[in-house]
Homo-oligomer: A and B are copies of this chain.
Amino acid sequence: MPYPITITQTDRKKEKPDSSCLGFGRYFTDHMFVMDYSAEIGWHDPRIVPYAPLALDPAALVLHYGQAIFEGMKAYRTSDDRILLFRPEKNAQRLNLSAARLSMPSIDEELFLEALRTLISLEKDWVPRERGTSLYIRPFMFATEPYLGVRASESYKLVIVLSPVGAYYAGGMKPVKIHVESRYVRAVRGGTGFAKVSGNYAASLKAQEDAHAKGYEQVLWLDAIENKYIEEVGSMNVFFKINGEVWTPPLHGSILGGITRDSVIHLLRDWGIPVREEKLSMEDLYVAYTRGELEEAFGTGTAAVVSPIGVLGWNDHHMVINHEQIGELTAKLYGTLTGIQYGEIADPYGWIVEVE
């Protein structure tokens, strides 16, 4: 092993929650991975330790100037008890992309993958067994230097925590109602929208709350420049099937390059379905809708994998998509991706990495 990750095992293991009431991001496993960075010696002391509170100086820069990034991924248990990761190298790459945007140090991607494998292997009993459940993996990096000047921190922590999570569609997959947001924006070209930066999510909460109050489950974000072009849905990428073609916004700086997004595009092209990574305005989407050409709509992300959209509320328009039913293509994408993730169908793409 190229990196000596030290392991300190806990002497009091937690009781594992019942897998029927896991929910999302509520329970955490017995251990976590931690590694420190200082300007003098770089990344050092990679270690697995008991899950416990972190001691943070009140002046730690993360609490003041928000220098924090994260990743999200899952480990899946197959029916023959293997544990699989889905394209983890993409998360390693994106973590470094995010780090660069916030002037944070890059990590060695091999060490990151080794840390994942070692931690998950140690916690393998925490990967829940029911189909649809998984072990959610949350790597995050944040500024720790106690200093109040506005500049990049000279010290950081990289932490990986694991959380067993329930099936996203515990009550069955159901198309969601989405409010097209015209007041608040998520990101803008030249900003941090393309990176997985903590502040992007803080900025999104108010619109989400307002949408909930109006009876919607999430918001569809429009571009910040013209308030016209479709960007993302909640914290997912978004796709529309229009007249046999699939549209998704291009990655032009304000949109997160989702790994599920990339996988969906891959599958669609493999299946001979045209994919247009092009700007799409709400006006044009509405025209397609009125012509009966808007066939399906869905979001993509690690948590839901694929989330069908049943209703779009845009100003006074109440757009009902595919009779609020799950579209055929949406269902096929969900089935294929989760089939690959749970090792039930062949993975011709090299996306699956088994944890030994």
Contacts and interface: CB of A to CB of B under 8 A. Distances in A.
Contacts of A190: 183-185, 224, 227
Given A148-B24, A202-B197, A209-B152, A191 B188 contact: yes
B64 A152 contact: no
A205 interface: yes
Given A58-B28, A159-B58, A190-B184, A198 B53 contact: no
A294 to B, nearest CB: 26
Interface residues of A, number: 66
Total identical chains: 2
A138 interface: yes
Contacts of A205: 65, 67, 102-103, 150-152
A67 B68 CA distance: 11
A105 to B, nearest CB: 13
A70 interface: yes
B55 A202 contact: no
Interface string A141-181: 01000111111100000010101000000000000000000
B28 A67 contact: no
Contacts of A65: 198, 201-202, 205
Interface string A187-203: 11111100001111111
A28 B59 contact: yes
Nearest to A143: B202
Contacts of A51: 58
16 contacts: A26-B147, A52-B58, A54-B57, A58-B161, A64-B68, A65-B201, A65-B205, A66-B199, A102-B202, A102-B205, A138-B148, A150-B201, A192-B202, A197-B199, A198-B199, A224-B224
